[in-house]
Amino acid sequence: ILNVEQSPQSLHVQEGDSTNFTCSFPSSNFYALHWYRWETAKSPEALFVMTLNGDEKKKGRISATLNTKEGYSYLYIKGSQPEDSATYLCAFLGGGADGLTFGKGTHLIIQP
Partner 1 sequence: SQTIHQWPATLVQPVGSPLSLECTVEGTSNPNLYWYRQAAGRGLQLLFYSVGIGQISSEVPQNLSASRPQDRQFILSSKKLLLSDSGFYLCAWSLLNEQFFGPGTRLTVL
Residue 44 phi/psi, 5° resolution?
Answer: -60, 140
Name residue 67's beta-bridge partners.
Answer: 72
> Taking the complex as a whole, how short is the minimal distance between the CB of residue 11 and partner 1, in angstroms?
16
Mode of pairing for the β-strands spanning 10-14 and 106-111: parallel
Interface residue list for partner 1 (CB under 8 A): 4, 31-32, 34, 41-44, 46, 49, 51, 89, 91, 93, 98-105
> Taking the complex as a whole, how short is the minimal distance between the CB of residue 16 and partner 1, in angstroms?
29
Q: Which is nearer to partner 1, 32 or 75 (CB)?
A: 32
| The CA-based dihedral angle spanning residues 82, 9, 89, 40, taken in that order and rounded to the nearest 10 degrees | -50
Q: Which is nearer to partner 1, 71 or 105 (CB)?
A: 105
Q: Which is nearer to partner 1, 70 or 98 (CB)?
A: 98
Peptide bond into 82 cis (omega under 30): no
Element housing 21 (H / E)? strand 19-24
> Taking the complex as a whole, how short is the minimal distance between the CB of residue 112 and partner 1, in angstroms?
28
Q: Which is nearer to partner 1, 80 or 93 (CB)?
A: 93
